[in-house]
Structure 1
Amino acid sequence: MGERSLALTVIGQALHWMQHEELFRAVSPLLRVGGGIAVISNGTPLWLQDSAWSRALCGCLEEWLGITLEASCGTSSRDRLRYAQALESAGFVDVREIVVEYSGELTFDQLFGGVCSAIPADQLPGPDERAVFAERIRQALPADERFTEHVRVSTLVGRVGVVDA
């Protein structure tokens, strides 16, 4: 792959695990003029949403993990602004945010899968503990409540402008 050969780079939810300033600076020279970057996040984590089931899930996870869950995984408005400023600092132009919002019902298995996908590997219960973990969460959740997830997909976009020779 030669210099400036990429048309687009897409970075997903895992950005909060990365050194985003360094990443944006490293990606910029790989993109051709007019090429772009998209930084996508899927909104408030399941355990921080404004519902009785979400609060119950949060309490259960905090007890299981022994920590207070406050981090938004890079999805808060403060985080998105920080990422937008870092994109501009790395030389991207026309940086803006595109938002799509929706709500949907989750089954327990979908909710549990979402939780497991967000837990760092070193804290995720092993296969032999997973059924116990799932049952603990199931018992913590209100029995008669639907699991309505509110999703705010945010995409920060920017493009490479004219490159100085």
Structure 2
Amino acid sequence: MTSTPSYTPEELFASTAPYYAAFRPRYAPEFYALLADRFGLDGTQRALDLGAGPGIIALELAPLVGEVIAVDPEKGMLDEGRRLAAEHHITNITWREGDSTTLPAMNTGPVLLTVMGAAYHWMDRDQVARDLDRIIEPGGAIVLASGGAPGDLEPADWRHVVDEVRTRYLGPERRAGSGTYSHPTERHQDVLARSPFSHIDTAHWDHTLTRSVDEVIGLQFSYSYSSTVQLGDHKDAFERDLRQALSEFNPAGVFDEAVRTEAIIATRP
């Protein structure tokens, strides 16, 4: 039972925005503490969040710097970010529509840090590093935040339940837009090692995240490959079947998962 709805990329990512903001795991507080300590963040610096989505990083970084420029190509993500910023009375984030290809023409001005989450794997990574060399100030850095590389952590035992239901509805491949997604084979560290930012440090922090059935379901709708638009008319049936399968797997309704924050900090030698 696979679903192939018709949609535009804008509809796809706009549909994930509220779920992304509500259900994606946050990066560890230690990540932001590391940036503050290493780069002397004192509320005066400027930072760029490239591929910001709804501001998962920007909202946490904003209290540490003078301004965050949050750039994303999807208006729905930016609208969700603005809503969350207003809700938390954060006023020093500038939300701008754009992406890595429009960055050279955006006139962002100099920044100390450019932070990126999962968006970096979608980009022309070599070109982005060269473009950022013109923007990042001396002593600054490219900072990549992620959940680590595939296989770094043992998947939670309930993940196979989700995979089985998702495959039944959407097929075995993870669809990205109208195509499919595959993780880059070359590590980010190896790409950055040949860039102007070739001095690379990594750090990671692990913790256990506990989710309810509703939170596991909401998480699936935050992914482009299982968004409400991808599911189309089958969204309600998918949710019903996944809820039933999860409840049968663990009637207590508690789903633990080991979650990692990995930071890759690339500076000029």
Q: What's the TM-score, normalizing by structure 1?
A: 0.76
Identity of aligned residues (%): 25
Distance 2:122 2:228 in 1: 14
SS of 2:230 mapped into structure 1: coil
1:125 equivalent among 231, 236, 244:
231
Quick check: 1:143 aligned with 2:246?
no
Aligned counterparts of 2:259 and 2:196: Cα–Cα separation in 1 = 30
Which of 193, 196, 210 is the matching residue for 1:105?
A: 210
Q: Aligned residue for 1:19?
A: 124
Equivalent in the alignment of 1:7: 112
Q: Give the alignment's TM-score, normalised by structure 2.
A: 0.49
CA contact (8 A) 1:40 1:154 kept: yes
Q: Residues 116 and 160 of structure 1: is their aligned pair in 2 closer, same or farther, counting only changes over 3 Å?
A: same
**Distance verdict in 2 for CA 1:43–1:113, change over 3 Å:** farther
- Higher relative CO (Cα under 8 Å, sequence separation at least 6) belongs to 1
Unaligned runs of 5+ in 2: 1-106, 175-180
Structure having the higher strand fraction is 1
Structure 1 122/15 Cα, relative in aligned 2: closer, same or farther at 3 Å? farther
Is 1:99–1:154's contact at 8 Å kept on the other side of the alignment?
A: yes
Separation in 1, partners of 2:245, 2:126? 39
The unaligned stretches of length 5 or more in structure 1 are: none
> How far did residue 34 of structure 1 move?
0.6
Note if 1:91 corresponds to 2:199: no
Contact 2:170–2:231 at 8 Å: present in 1 too? no
Contact kept, 8 Å, 1:44 with 1:152, in 2: the verdict is no
Q: Which deviates the most, 18-27 or 102-111?
A: 18-27
Q: Distance in 2 between matches of 1:2 and 1:59?
A: 44
SS in 2 for 1:29: coil
Once the two structures are overlaid, the 10-residue window that deviates more, 141-150 or 30-39, is: 141-150
Number of aligned pairs?
151
